[in-house]
Structure 1
Amino acid sequence: MIKMLVLAIWVSGITAFTSAAASHWLGLPFMAPAADSAPPLYEYRKTRVINVPIIADGALLGYVIVQFLYGVNVKVAEKLNVTPEVFIMDYAFRTLYGDPSLDFRRLDKYDITGLTIQLKNMVNEKLGNGLIQEILIQDFSYMPKDQAPR
């Protein structure tokens, strides 16, 4: 009988000690990195498809079809009133439509890397540096006018 009483007191003491130690441990602040020193969280998003008309000598020849994938800083993007996709699509359309080096017969020779870097720089300049990490090409093709759906 005494052995059972001593065992019950011992188990109760161990339980009380471990729960007190656990509550003390949980009460201590964790050594988490500061929010400012954490690397920015980037999220990749797709734009809608852009159809850029190719016009030569006053005649419509076809369309360049482009879709982008862009990495955006989530914390910076949450503070904006507008999505960066709008600016990416606008700058891409203006750049492709007015680019004299864009030869629809030789799209494989077009400087796509230069296009994406230029778009990234233009959007970051407009909306703030660090917003766009990179812009990638999801789709880049040409459709002649006679193959376009009516």
Structure 2
Amino acid sequence: MLKLVFTGVWVCAVTLGSVYFSIQHASAPVESDAEADRRALQQYVPGELITVPVITDGAVQGYFLTKLSFAVDKNKIKHLDVPLKETVTNALFDILVGKKLINVADSTSFDLAQFKTAVKDGLNKDMRDEVIFDVLVEQLEYLSKADVARIAKGASQPQQQPVAIVDKNGETAHDEIPEAERRAAAAAQ
């Protein structure tokens, strides 16, 4: 019985010692100077819900419901000629309506990472500067024209939920602004 108690104490001591020394010798992730400078300049801007129509054969077939947030250069964002909301709306119309980056009939060809890159590059091109560091897609859904008509008729029909756009890798839009940045943005407003 005494051997069993000593064995248990020995195992606990060895485990605690190994955990203690592994924590002592663990190093923090190394961040380059460029990355540290970028983080110091970075600010998260929460997005607003934007509705973009899907136009096919000269008629509206449905609507994309999109909510994008951005990691931006806080110094450059202050000096924009056109406010960010209007620039984003313009870029989304260009990407979703003009370039037809999302094919509603075949969403298996959609790539969320490519969409984020296209939005970021399009916005930076429109602003003629590297203002946007990252695009967070919080919501990207599709509502057909029939769904909109059904919702407009009221409570007589069951309410339809927007359909989340799923990319070719099975990913959906679910990015979120870090909580500390969300609180800071709410306090600033």
Q: Greater strand percent: which structure?
A: 1
Q: Say if 1:100 and 1:119 are closer, same or farther in 2 by CA, change over 3 A.
A: closer
TM-score w.r.t. the length of structure 2 is 0.52
Q: Which amino acid aligns with 2:64?
A: V
What is the SS of the residue equivalent to 2:130? Answer: coil
CA deviation vs aligned residue, 1:31-64 (integer Å, no higher than 9, x gap): xxxxxx9444211112222222223233432111
- Given the alignment of the two structures, is residue 135 of structure 1 paired with residue 128 of structure 2, yes or no? no
What is the SS of the residue equivalent to 1:72? Answer: strand
Conserved 8 A contact 2:41-2:74: yes
Point out 4+ residue stretches in structure 1 off by more than 6 angstroms.
Answer: none
- How many pairs does the alignment contain? 114
CA deviation vs aligned residue, 1:51-109 (integer Å, no higher than 9, x gap): 22223233432111111111111111123343323212211112101234532133353
Q: Which amino acid aligns with 2:140?
A: F
TM-score w.r.t. the length of structure 1 is 0.63
Conserved 8 A contact 1:52-1:65: yes
Counterpart in 1 of 2:147? 147
Counterpart in 2 of 1:92? 92
Question: 1: distance between equivalents of 2:59 and 2:133?
Answer: 38
What aligned pairs does 1:1-150 form with structure 2 within 5 A after superposition? 38-39=37-38, 40-100=40-100, 102-148=102-148, 149-150=151-152
What is the SS of the residue equivalent to 2:54? Answer: strand
Cα RMSD of the aligned pairs, angstroms, is: 2.3
Larger radius of gyration: 1
- Unmatched segments (≥5 aa) in structure 1: 1-36
What is the SS of the residue equivalent to 1:136? Answer: strand
Q: Which amino acid aligns with 1:132?
A: I
Structure ranking higher on relative contact order (CA contacts 8 Å, 6+ apart): 1
Q: Say if 1:46 and 1:106 are closer, same or farther in 2 by CA, change over 3 A.
A: farther
Pairwise CA distance, 1:111: 2.4
Question: 1: distance between equivalents of 2:94 and 2:58?
Answer: 18
Q: Say if 1:103 and 1:73 are closer, same or farther in 2 by CA, change over 3 A.
A: same
Conserved 8 A contact 2:52-2:92: no
Q: Say if 1:59 and 1:79 are closer, same or farther in 2 by CA, change over 3 A.
A: closer
Question: 1: distance between equivalents of 2:49 and 2:144?
Answer: 17
Conserved 8 A contact 2:101-2:115: no
Conserved 8 A contact 1:69-1:135: yes
Conserved 8 A contact 2:42-2:74: yes
